[in-house]
Each structure stands twice: as C-alpha cells, then as structure tokens.
Structure 1
C-alpha cells in the first residue's frame, strides 16, 4: 500500500488551509506492492488477532503507546486493555509485525469447509458485431492474447451483441451459438427469452484449461452483422440501413442478470470485457450521438473543449445492479467517432473496472494492454477504510468504488489492481485545528481483500480516456507532459523543460523525449548533427529510458520518432501547450505551468514567514 499526501506539511489551523488554497488530502494505492518509499510490507499471520480500539475501532499499530496490560490508541487516545492471549503473544515481538512496522500485510484465516468453487474467476468477452472487419480482427487478437494470460481454473464466456445477443457454447467439439433478438422498442423491458433459458450459465462458461483451443476456434467464426440482417430486424430496406444496430444496453442488462444468479456460488468475481466500435444505438440504453456539437454551436462554445455531461442515467443505474451481482466491467472502445463516454463511463467507475479508448485499429495497443492487464495480480472483494486522529477527519472520497450504505468512510471495491488509486480530502474537526496539543496527526488505512495471482507476474499497463483512477505521477504527466533533453543518445542534458519552443531553443540540445502518459515522442531538432543516429540505437541511454517508462506505468504508451525538418512535427508541437491559446482570448497566456508552480511556492514561503513573524 502506498499513501501520498498532497502537501508535505499539514496546515495547522483552518485559516492556514484557507489561505494556501491547496487541496489537503491523500492518494491511496492500496494494492501496491510497496509503500510510497519503495519498501515492501512486513508480513505475518493471525490478522484476526490484531487488537482493536474499543472506542473508535482502529487497529493496534506501532504508533500506539504500549503498556504492560494495555495500550493507548494513537487516533482517539482511548486506553484499551489486553486479554490474556494478546498479552502472551505480544511478549514475543518478533512474531508480531504490527508492533514494529507501520506497513503490514497480515493473513486472515478463512473457513475451509467450503468446496472452493466460489474462488474460480469468471471472464466474459462481450463483442460488438455492428462493426467493421478491421475491428473484429483486432478484438480476436486481443482475446487470443487474453487466453494466454488467464490463470488455471478460470472460466471464460463469449457473448456477441448487435440487434441480437449471441451466446457461445464453447465446451462441445464445434462452437455453437444461440441467439436472442433484442427488442428495438425503447419502452420494452427485457428480452423475449431470458439468457438462462437460451443457455444455462454453466454451459456458457467454459474451463480455460480444457477448452482453450475451442475458444480460439469460436473466435475465428466471428463476423460483422450484415445490413440485410439489420434491415430484417428493424423492418427497413437493406439499402437504407446504415452501420449500427448496437444493442449494448440491453445486452449488458441481460448479461449482468445472467451472471448474478451464480454470484457467491460459482464465482466470487466476474469480469466483463465489453468491446465497442461505436455508441449504443439500438434498444434500451441507446445514446443520441447527434447532440455532439449541436448543443454548443448555438452557445458559441467549442465542442472539442467542452466537458460533456452525462446524457442519460441508464448506465449509472445499471452499474449499481452490476455491483450487487459482483460483476466488474471494463469497457474497450475502438472508435474515432463521438460515443458518449460521459454516460458509459459509470459502468466502469462504479463496478471497479476501467475505460479504454483507442482512436483506430491500425496502431491500437489493445492486445498488449489486455494481456498485461490480466498478467498481474489483482484483488477482489475489497473493503477500504480510512481513519484519522481526532483533530481532523475525512471529507470527500474519489475513485472506482462504491460507499458502504451503513458505515462512513468505508468503500467497497469489486476489483483492484496494483495501479488503482483512490483519493481522500480532509477537513478540520474543529476550529482549533492542531493547535491544542503537539501530538502528531495520524492516518490509518485498512484494506481487506482476497487475491487472484497469475502464474507469471508481468509488469505491464493498461490504457485508461478516464483519469479518475490514476496515481498522482501518472495524472501529472497526462495533464502536463514531461519534456527531457539529451545532448546525445547516451547522455541526458536536462531533466525537465517547459513545454514551449523557447525552451527548445534555449536548451541547445539536439534530442528531446516527451512523456505524455499515453504517448512517448522522441524528437530530433532540425539542427541536430546528421552524424547522430536516427532513430536512436537500441542499446543507448535514451532507449533504456523509454523502455523503463513503458514498463513502470499502467498503460502501453505509443512510441513515435520524429525528425524535425524531415517528418511531420504536428504531434510533438501539439504538446507545447504554453504557447497555445488556452483561455479562448486569441492570445497565448503570459505564464505557463512552471511559472504557476513557482508562484505557488513563493506564496507558500511568504505565508510561512508571516506565521514565523507572528
């Protein structure tokens, strides 16, 4: 678990917090393998035996004052007694990591009376067939890669959707698909035939261990729906039917209901990977893509710069149903058209999944992303609880989780990987702030989870169009890319430049590496010495830096090499945002991010000096 504060020092009183105008809180990456300093946790057993405060229910930890027969809670100050078993156990400090370390990972015993079947993970691919051949070829490649990453014992299901839902029987000698037609009427609720009646769930979910070849064979049978099929379903002439008929909302509603029937019996976690080639435009949950731009044109607002609101609450409501059924949904959209992700995103956010967007099929990294996504350990059935000492308290919380309906500051997370990050902000509990005494501010975070581990853990990444689950360093690069200069492929010149042409000229370096989170751009200036090899050699420092950046994050960034004066430099120059008109005034701003950061630092120093003087 890694915990990073937004400020290096907490404000002392509410007036200081108001004056600095900075967010006060923490970012938590609960399933991280190390803490914020890179240290792994101390491990041990008997997590169920850790004492808890009788007043605030905080766990005993290394910051609590320990006495012979009891301990004082470092959060609320209450005095607690030890029972005889705990007192004897604490006489052997080496066997009690919670006595000596602030970051501990303790096992909790589970009941072995069950048959263990509920621990089998379930994966379902829901594939859009109202698409192009190129889209399907990409999806086939991605799912074949996913099959190689799934752990033994996994169950896999294949479903397609368009104007009909297709369920594949993957356990027989040849793949068989059974179809249920999607009602086109928005007022019609549900399918004419429940999916369970079309195919029992345990026939739909195939063991990957024994059916991998049959799953691969079924993938090869996927074909886009024809205009004739869509016309017949909608009652229109074939020539008048455009590419569409994407009954995504109905398909997801039926699939969640289908899987929920076995939640807690056949599986403890179901992960749905939904692949979309455009916006849902058929049946319930269809979205009006014509509104893009039209609603802003009359107001004089640039639609490309507008933050689009949620169009309908359908997918937010559906996400709540998915949560109750233990279904985590990841959405992979491969399209360059308006798809209203502002409405679709709630399926992912609420259920613990992620939203992936690829502009086209030609240079999509979807196969690599989904393989790496499934190749690393992930936690499921998680509960996250944050507690603070008495002078301050948690305020708002942010992330891909849903709050506990009964207890405050308790979040439930269906699925969580080592990159998933959540945020909390703080408020003072009273106007005195921390001025009443000198006890340190204390934060305790408890994270309970079960874990699924792949056979081989691979470092990797996933491409996320939603930034709400990124860790601070990744989010910073997505908002303000990092620009590094190199005097040669083997020698770094300067670690950070402002994003402007002026910075390029002043540095006099011939090579620049721009890290924009989803894009890595190696740029050679037009004045670079022709003797410098382009692209850089594979064994040089620059290439090593690029490879490290690709491995140490949660996406597969696209790598582009540009030689200024010879290649089109538009991509690189588009990131020089400090020389762009960002406020719509028609002029470039007078100061950029680096100048803003210096201003904040100077104001903070002034506040500190004023406090010291008073």
Structure 2
C-alpha cells in the first residue's frame, strides 16, 4: 500500500491544521507494488498471528510503541497486551517483516476448511458403467455420456467407473487415460479387499470437466464388454443354464459411496452416481436370484417380467439409508 499526503509537512495538531487554511489529506493506493518512497514491500509469514488493536482493530506496525509485554496502537493509543507467541516472535525483530518496514506483504496459511467447503460445493458426477453387457448397450451408454458432458456446468467434477466381476477406476487427468481394477469378491457377504482411496486418490479420480473433457471422451471409447470367458471364469459356476457372476453392482455401489466420503470424512454434498446397467446384479454382495426369471418360468406359468419385482435383499435399502445420512 502506498500513502501520499497532499502537503509535504504535516500540521503539528488540529489547531495548526485549521489555522493554516489548507486542505490536508492523504491518497491511499491499496495493493500497490511499491510504496510512496519507491520501496518494495518486506515479505514475511504469519499474517494470521499479526496483533490487532482491541479498540480500533488496527494492525501492529512499525509506528506502534512496543514494550516487553504490550504495545500501544499508533492510531488510537490503546495499550494492548501481547500473547506469549507474539512476545517470542518480537524477541527477534529483524526476523519479522512488520518490524523491519511499514510496507509489508505477509502470507496467510491455507484455510483447509475453506478448501474443503469449496470442493464440497462443486457438483460431482460419477458414471458407473456395466461392462457385463453387449456392444450395442455400451455404444448407447457412450453416446448418452458424451451428450451429458456437454451439458455439465463449468467447475463440475466427473469420474468414470466400470463394474462387472471387477471394479475399474479411470484416471483421465494424465496424457493417456489409465484404468485401475479391483476384483470383486464372489461371495454375497464380501466387500472389496482394499479401499478405493488406496487404489486411486479421490481427487485424481474426479477430473475437472473444463480441462479433461477430451480425455474423458477418449476413456469412454476404450470401454469394451467383458468376454464370456472372463465372466465364466469369474463366476466359476452356472445354475440351470443361467450364468451367475457377471455383474457386481452392489459391491461397486457400496464402494463408490464410501469412496466419495474418503477425502473429507463426509460425502460430497452435490455428488451424484449414475449407474448404467444392462441387467440384474448377479455377483457378489447385493446379488439377486436370477433363476427367478427367464424361459424356465414360462413352463410354470409365471410372468418373467415380474419375477424380480419382490424385494429379495435389504442390501440396497440399507445402502440408500447410509447414503442419505451422509449427505
């Protein structure tokens, strides 16, 4: 800040100023690169601990009278006490910018709570795509997501995940999209062997749409269905001709919900997960009994379209309850 007076000599008191008949004032230039004498600011740290006057809230500066345990405000004359940290700080005056110059630039520490609030205020969209599907299904999904990317608001964060007998996380913030996979346990009570935040840091997974839109589009083009061999190997079994073990939707959703809360301890306030499924979950926790539908029910006179409507497991109801509580 630069301060320039309208006269070269200051009046000694109010009577002298009024008796002179001259207009007196100062011009203040905030954030000036040099002061009125052409000097650059003295740089330092600890701007958050700079003492302030208890009466007028002026900052401590070189014009204040400093005593061993207190200081007097240069503006209002109030005597203010010094904290033990301030006493230690000013025991070596040459190490403090505010003691060396009247023109200082002090750094403030990063406010982590403000950073957290800013991140939580950003809309977050996660697309979870079913790879236990057909080429036609994936082509429709890609087209839908590419159109959705164009409609996202500036500042949005986007994450691309895939699920089948494994859960994949895409890093699209580098020059080439990279996917990291975690295999989903086949048993209905199992969870992922590792947390997704250990597989990939959350802020590496959530990419700014503004700068990574082209990379996200490139990642979408790499999506391919899992082969029948992969599904059979993962399932390890087949009941009544129905393939079991291709679509670990329940574990994937549970892991992603936990993942979105891993960075700051609570879920992003504006986070949304969009799941693109080509069939019922039939693998891992949250799987449904897919034998309850299909051609085998036609001979029993049951409607295959309604066979999965009755609730089979409380898994998803419990997951929604936890998700709502975190938000």
Cα pair distance change 1:305/1:321, threshold 3 Å = closer
Among 120, 123, 129, the alignment partner of 1:121 is 123
Q: Does 1:165 find its partner at 2:175?
A: no
Pick 1 or 2: higher relative contact order, CA cutoff 8 A, min separation 6: 2
Cα pair distance change 1:246/1:209, threshold 3 Å = same
Equivalent position of 1:323 in the other structure = 324
Cα pair distance change 1:278/1:115, threshold 3 Å = closer
Cα pair distance change 1:309/1:219, threshold 3 Å = same
RMSD of equivalent CA atoms: 3.3
Report if the CA contact (8 A) 2:180-2:199 is conserved: yes
Equivalent position of 1:223 in the other structure = 224
Within 5 Å, which residues of 2 pair with 1:505-544?
none
Report if the CA contact (8 A) 2:293-2:307 is conserved: no
Equivalent position of 2:103 in the other structure = none
Equivalent position of 2:194 in the other structure = 193
Equivalent position of 1:291 in the other structure = 292
For 1:204 and 1:282, the matched residues in 2 are separated by: 25
For 2:146 and 2:174, the matched residues in 1 are separated by: 19
Equivalent position of 1:202 in the other structure = 203
Within 5 Å, which residues of 2 pair with 1:385-404?
none
Among 107, 118, 137, the alignment partner of 1:135 is 137
Equivalent position of 1:273 in the other structure = 274
Report if the CA contact (8 A) 1:183-1:283 is conserved: yes
For residues 123-159 of structure 1, what are the alpha-carbon distances to aligned partners after superposition, in whole Å with 9 as ceiling and x for unaligned? Answer: 0000000000000000000000010000000000000
For 2:324 and 2:318, the matched residues in 1 are separated by: 10
Equivalent position of 2:312 in the other structure = 311
For 1:315 and 1:114, the matched residues in 2 are separated by: 29
For residues 531-561 of structure 1, what are the alpha-carbon distances to aligned partners after superposition, in whole Å with 9 as ceiling and x for unaligned? Answer: xxxxxxxxxxxxxxxxxxxxxxxxxxxxxxx
For 1:216 and 1:231, the matched residues in 2 are separated by: 30
TM-superposed deviation, 1:288 = 1.1
For 1:160 and 1:313, the matched residues in 2 are separated by: 24
Equivalent position of 2:28 in the other structure = none
Indicate the larger mover: 205-214 or 190-199: 190-199
Cα pair distance change 1:144/1:298, threshold 3 Å = closer
For residues 291-343 of structure 1, what are the alpha-carbon distances to aligned partners after superposition, in whole Å with 9 as ceiling and x for unaligned? Answer: 248999899776768994212111111111111232xxxxxxxxxxxxxxxxx
For 1:279 and 1:307, the matched residues in 2 are separated by: 9
Structure 1 length-normalised TM: 0.32
TM-superposed deviation, 1:200 = 0.8
Among 153, 156, 161, the alignment partner of 2:155 is 153
Which protein has the bigger helix share? 2
TM-superposed deviation, 1:264 = 7.8
For 1:307 and 1:278, the matched residues in 2 are separated by: 11
For residues 500-530 of structure 1, what are the alpha-carbon distances to aligned partners after superposition, in whole Å with 9 as ceiling and x for unaligned? Answer: xxxxxxxxxxxxxxxxxxxxxxxxxxxxxxx
For residues 569-604 of structure 1, what are the alpha-carbon distances to aligned partners after superposition, in whole Å with 9 as ceiling and x for unaligned? Answer: xxxxxxxxxxxxxxxxxxxxxxxxxxxxxxxxxxxx
For 1:300 and 1:291, the matched residues in 2 are separated by: 12
For 1:292 and 1:323, the matched residues in 2 are separated by: 31
TM-superposed deviation, 1:197 = 0.6
For 2:312 and 2:254, the matched residues in 1 are separated by: 18
Report if the CA contact (8 A) 2:261-2:267 is conserved: no
For 1:180 and 1:275, the matched residues in 2 are separated by: 19
Cα pair distance change 1:153/1:246, threshold 3 Å = same
Cα pair distance change 1:252/1:136, threshold 3 Å = same
Report if the CA contact (8 A) 2:196-2:259 is conserved: yes
Cα pair distance change 1:226/1:121, threshold 3 Å = same
Cα pair distance change 1:318/1:265, threshold 3 Å = closer
Cα pair distance change 1:261/1:292, threshold 3 Å = same
For 1:168 and 1:226, the matched residues in 2 are separated by: 20
Cα pair distance change 1:128/1:166, threshold 3 Å = same
Larger radius of gyration: 2
TM-superposed deviation, 1:262 = 3.9
Cα pair distance change 1:295/1:319, threshold 3 Å = farther
Gaps (5+ residues) in structure 1?
Answer: 1-111, 327-614
Number of equivalenced pairs:
213
Report if the CA contact (8 A) 1:163-1:246 is conserved: yes
TM-superposed deviation, 1:243 = 8.2
For 1:167 and 1:233, the matched residues in 2 are separated by: 19
For 2:283 and 2:120, the matched residues in 1 are separated by: 35
Gaps (5+ residues) in structure 2?
Answer: 1-113
Cα pair distance change 1:289/1:305, threshold 3 Å = closer
